[in-house]
Amino acid sequence: MPSYTNSKPEWAPDKDDSNFACSVMSGIDGIKDTTVGNLNPMLKTGAMKPKPKKPLSVEEFVKGVSEGNRGILSRAITLIESNNPNHFSKAQQVLQGLLPRTGKALRVGITGVPGAGKSTTIEAFGNMLCDMGHRVAVLAVDPTSSVTRGSILGDKTRMGTLSTRPEAFIRPSPAGGTLGGVARKSRETMLLCEAAGYDVILVETVGVGQSETTVRSMVDFFMLIVLTGAGDELQGIKKGIMELADAIVVNKADGDNYLKAKVARADYERMLEYIRPATEGWKTHAYLASAVKKTGLKELWDIIRAFQKVTTDSGAFHRRREAQLLEWVHSMIDEHLHNLFFDDPVVLGRMPEIEEAVLKGTISPTQAVAELIHIFDIQRATERHVDLFHPKKA
């Protein structure tokens, strides 16, 4: 029988008195040889270990996702997100099999500074859409998420009611990597969700840095959520973001904040006069909403539907989708060639010397580039480059 000793913790408050009842036990003998084995012998023997999931074939993935099986959809997304080169070609085959079922959802991007109310809006808006009979998938693009695993993960609790609904599917941002890598995974995840029958896709991204431009390039309708106080200093919102938006939503238009929100809306309307609209044939306006009081959300949906109708009739909707597809292809080529070049040992070997020569003024930047490109051999670089596009044979 192990013996326990009680002691006061090191962090006991300075003014320790009888009200402080905390003490620390010495722990259980032998706990170090296995983390939990001493507590539950069944765990030690492996008898209670969860069985590893049977790998699914490409056909099983395609069938499961097509039938809207959430478990299989989650596993297919995990396959897409995997950085294991051996998973890459399988994921691409799954995607290929599902392509005919994609493209039918309405894709809506939502951006705004931290705290603007994106997640709260998605929760309220998503619930409303589910009540209306839609099936809603919520994704996030957050390239910083290698560290935090994305704010949307915490959001699963913030999106408490939405995450438990069978008509809704919430997936956090793929972790880490370059924005290009995160973007590819999010785009492909969006396609999988469409194939699984979700007809509205909401993509959240924080409106700082480059990720909002990336999300704009994968959605049909893009909304910017802002707060009051717009006239003062634009809350750090770059004018560039306003140029991407099809609607500006002044959120938190409730309680004492309502009048301020009305003023902010008018300020944004004035600013929009001078901004080129994001979508041809559509005039971007500012609207009031309260995600907490659930006001303005029905109107927002009406606006999105009106946008869909106007742009579909004019052909702009279809043209944007086509342009987005090609832009996706081009951006992946850019990134791939960039990696091949900057990871090539021959290029890397010559780089310091050439850079020094540029800094000394012995050769011009143009000459330097010509020389580096000259020694770069794409065949050689491709052969040694092990990455997602060139998976090692298993």
Ligand X SMILES: Nc1nc2c(ncn2[C@@H]2O[C@H](COP(=O)(O)OP(=O)(O)OP(=O)(O)O)[C@@H](O)[C@H]2O)c(=O)[nH]1
Chain positions contacting ligand X, by CB under 6 A = 112, 114-120, 151, 158, 206, 251-252, 254, 290-292
Q: Output the smallest distance, CB 148 to ligand X, in A.
A: 10
112 binds, among Mg ion, ligand X, none (CB under 5 to 8 A by kind): ligand X
Per partner kind, with CB cut-offs from 5 to 8 A, the member of Mg ion, ligand X, none near residue 120 is: ligand X
**Nearest approach, Cβ of 225 to ligand X (angstroms)?**
7
Chain contacts with Mg ion (rule: CB under 5 A)? 118-119, 151
118 vs 320, beta carbon nearer Mg ion: 118
Q: How far apart are CA 295 and CA 251, in angstroms?
A: 10
- Nearest CB to Mg ion, comparing residues 64 and 207: 207
Strand partners, 202: 108, 138
Q: Is 250 left (phi over 0), alpha (psi -120 to 50) or beta?
A: beta
Q: Which helix (H) or strand (E) holds 111?
A: strand 106-112
- Shortest separation between residue 46's beta carbon and ligand X, angstroms: 40
Q: Which does 250 bind (CB under 5 to 8 A by kind): ligand X, Mg ion, none?
A: none
Q: How far is the CB of 206 from Mg ion (least distance, A)?
A: 8
Compute the distance between CA of residue 318 and CA of residue 219 in angstroms, rounded to an integer.
12
**Per-residue CA distances from 169 to 19, 58, 138, 194, 264 (Å):** 47, 22, 6, 11, 33
Of 291 and 388, nearer to ligand X (C-beta) is 291
In terms of CB distance, is 109 or 112 closer to ligand X? 112
311: partner contacted, choices ligand X, Mg ion, none (Cβ within 5-8 A by kind): none
Nearest CB to ligand X, comparing residues 298 and 318:
298
- Amino acid in position 331: S
Give per-residue burial for 302-327: e unless 16+ CB within 10 Å, then b. ebbeebeeebeeeebbeebeeebeee
Q: Report the residue number, 94 or 206, with the smaller CB distance to ligand X.
A: 206
Q: What span, in angstroms and rounded, lies between the C-alpha atoms of 173 and 193?
A: 14
Selection from ligand X, Mg ion, none that 291 binds (CB < 5 to 8 A by kind) is ligand X
Q: How far is the CB of 222 from ligand X (least distance, A)?
A: 15
**Residue 224 dihedral angles phi and psi, to the nearest 5°:** -110, 120
